[in-house]
Homo-oligomer: A and B are copies of this chain.
Amino acid sequence: MSNAKDFARLPGFRDFPPEEMGLRSHLFDAWRRVAARYGFREYDAPPLEPLDLYVEKSGEEIVGQLYNFTDKGGRQVSLRPEMTPSLARVLGDRSRSMPKPIRWFSIPQLFRYERQQRGRLREHFQWNVDLVGAAGPEADAEVLAVALDGLRELGLDARHIRARVSDRRLLAGILSALGVPESRLLAAYGVVDKVEREPPERILQRLTDEVDLPREVAEAVVGLFDAPELDQVEARFGEDPDVAPHLASLRSFLKILEDLGFGDYVDFDLTIVRGLAYYTGVVFEIFDRAGEFRAVAGGGRYDRLLELVGGESLPAVGFGMGDVVLSELLRERGLAPDTSHSVDHFIVIIGDEQASLARRIAASLRGRGRSVVYGIRGQSVRKQFSAASNEGAREVVVLGPDEVNRGVAVVRSMDSGAEREVELTALLDDAAVGA
């Protein structure tokens, strides 16, 4: 017979024993509550999709990062690396008959398999929120507000987190004004995305070598990121016809977020462009203020993605928020909930004659929505109290022969140790308000 070692879980996957599951459920519950408050409805799709769904959107090079394989029917399939293609597929079938805008969210488990990256997780859960069928800063702001409210719901407010926001159209206008040709914009975004992680001279080199910009243009681009305030950008580029409308739109976006109560959470940051090619407008990333963690969430406007995977041409804005960085951040800030076990009542049975009564009381209390565990027949009272403590019982109901004969049980608070007598009829009566 094999031993336990043979059955280790796969590398990069997590088990969720109850203590861990408690934090995960805490996130999911908060995400669901907040999404509902903004009128978003939950959906889901299969964790496994045809490989083409991802290749079509992201190109062949994506395959190296996917958890893909050939199934028993010879199909090229992949565990989903992100939710947006599935969203586009599901909407593709039905969006034409749906009133707009469409507010949908999902909490999928996502997968990746990069061979070289040992020790990294190969799965995580992600809150995906998308508003489809509405263009303009109101829709953008609603979606970012959902993300920020989701974090606030978990205890992370403007002291802990901030959203760094930009607009690709604005950046495009500014880069054009600085002399970056249209054809080099996407390549330039890729370098701008790295401004924070690499020294200026490396960025300059990338802009000349990789993006193929003349040195003076590259220097102007690098110089741009010394002046990140929106007012400074406006002072410098505000008259430019390729910049002005996007500046106005971004200001409107920021004003709406202020109305929605998130003014303190948001900073303009021209270096935020997001890695993915498909963003077409507002982009944002949410970080812890202390800068200790990777991004907690990221998103933006993607107005051409749905048609790309075969759907209706619809403007859309959305974000993804993963469970891994967020869980670390909550733990680090003392905001992870107490996930130790607890039940409302533990029924201690003294003498087998009370076992049937105990079960009827358990059924009655459970019928009122209480959580109830009762002692195993034949266990000593001491062991049962120890079990009650293990179960995190709030109250212990003791069924002793003498008390039962008098028609009562002794109810002890496990916190205070205070005891009181409660009529058995009250414990058994479904209609009565219990202990």
Contact = CB atoms under 8 A, between A and B. Distances in A.
Contact of A123 (B46, B356, B377): B46
Nearest to A53: B7
Contact of A38 (B310, B373, B386): B373
Interface in A265-303: none
A90 B43 contact: no
Interface string A85-113: 10011101110000101011000010001
Interface string A339-379: 00101000000000000100110110011011111001100
A7 B310 contact: yes
A70 B69 contact: yes
A13 to B, nearest CB: 4
B310 A6 contact: yes
B4 A16 contact: no
Contact of A17 (B4, B43, B109, B362): B43
Contact of A43 (B5, B18, B113, B372): B18
A10 B362 CA distance: 46
Nearest to A33: B369
Contacts of A18: 41-43, 104
A261 interface: yes
Contacts of A33: 369
A128 to B, nearest CB: 13
Contacts of A4: 89, 92-93, 309-311
A72 B47 CA distance: 18
Contacts of A71: 10, 67, 69, 113
Nearest to A6: B52
A46 B9 contact: yes
Nearest to A109: B47
Interface in A357-410: 359-360, 362-363, 366-367, 369-373, 376-377, 386-387, 390-391
A13 B48 contact: yes
A44 interface: yes
Given A37-B369, A37-B370, A134-B376, A21 B6 contact: no
Given A42-B25, A44-B16, A89-B9, A37 B366 contact: yes
B371 A37 contact: yes
A17 B90 contact: yes
B310 A372 contact: no
B39 A9 contact: no
A49 interface: yes
Interface string A230-262: 000000000000000000000000011001110
A190 interface: no
A115 to B, nearest CB: 6
Q: Which 8 A-B pairs have the closest CB atoms?
A: A4-B310, A13-B46, A259-B359, A18-B41, A16-B44, A39-B373, A99-B390, A69-B69
12 contacts: A7-B92, A9-B46, A9-B49, A9-B50, A21-B44, A33-B369, A38-B371, A39-B343, A69-B69, A71-B113, A260-B359, A261-B363
